[in-house]
Structure 1
């Protein structure tokens, strides 16, 4: 093999290593292909160019691979890939103190047996004990079970 083929093996091995470390980390297939190309280039360098050229090929490949891995694994570069946003959202809990047992409201939709009720200015999803309640009817909270508000029609 001539020196151009060996140089191309080393070049593409380093290119695959750059792709693995900087652009698509975690795939390992590209990184393993890069290391295989580097190993093949070094082996052909020793076999075809002699031991002194093989040593130069080995040292050059190791230094360049080390630089690529060092640059790719710096904290600044890793921070670009890491999720740093904090999720501070929350789910509206039916057990919050704005709706208590005994509170009354108006059905915004037909409760068959579940629907929407307006308590003061708070819209809540509610359920009945099985009965149907028409839209606009007055309802009263019987109890709050875990995350459900149970209501009944006010006669």
Structure 2
């Protein structure tokens, strides 16, 4: 029964260290728990199985952990898990609208007081000063306020 507990502690300790180095980067509770399990397993092997078995398990655990750390921290291993692509997407700046005051457009939906207006080929959300404008009507841009296009019936 003693050897079974030692094997379980060493196995789970090694698995936790592997998970810490390869899957969960950083110093977290998983790596600490794995190190504690390995330490307790090695200490129990010295106590219950004798000095020679303790030396063998200590050497094996040291070689295993060193190999895992060396493999896990190589640049090739890190690049498999690291984000290496660049995000080149952009967002149109609302403060520089493509609709100018005085421009004419056609409503696609009724403006009560907000709705959709077609300016050339571009659909934009627009608002009126409070009046209702039916769908299909021609409207003129009065002004641009922050991110709102204010229109009136033309």
TM-score, normalised by the number of residues in structure 1:
0.83
Aligned to 2:89: 89
Q: 1:30, CA displacement in angstroms? A: 3.3
Structure 1: where are the runs of 5+ without partners? none
By how many angstroms is 1:27 displaced? 8.8
Report the CA distance between 1:127 and its aligned residue.
1.1
DSSP-derived class of the 2:124 partner: strand
Structure 1 position 119, deviation (Å): 1.0
Deviations along 1:83-114, one digit per CA (max 9) or x if unpaired, are: 23322223344444531111001111111111
**2: CA distance between counterparts of 1:112 and 1:87?**
39
CA distance in 2, matches of 1:92, 1:132: 29
2:129 corresponds in structure 1 to 129
Which residue number corresponds to residue 105 of structure 1? 105
| CA root-mean-square deviation | 2.4
Distance apart, 1:68 and its partner CA? 0.8
Q: Distance in 2 between the 1:46 and 1:54 partners?
A: 4
What is the DSSP-based 3-state SS (H/G/I as helix, E as strand, rest coil) of the residue aligned with 1:142? strand
How far apart in 2 are the matches of 1:149 and 1:16? 58
Query: d(CA) in 2 for partners of 1:98 and 1:57?
Result: 72
Q: CA deviation at 1:6?
A: 2.7
Residue 66 of structure 2 is matched in structure 1 by 66
Identify which range, 143-152 or 48-57, moves more after superposition.
48-57
1:111-122 alignment to 2 at 5 Å?
A: 111-122=111-122
TM-score, with structure 2 as normaliser:
0.83
Give yes or no for contact 1:94–1:148 (8 Å, CA) kept in 2.
Answer: no
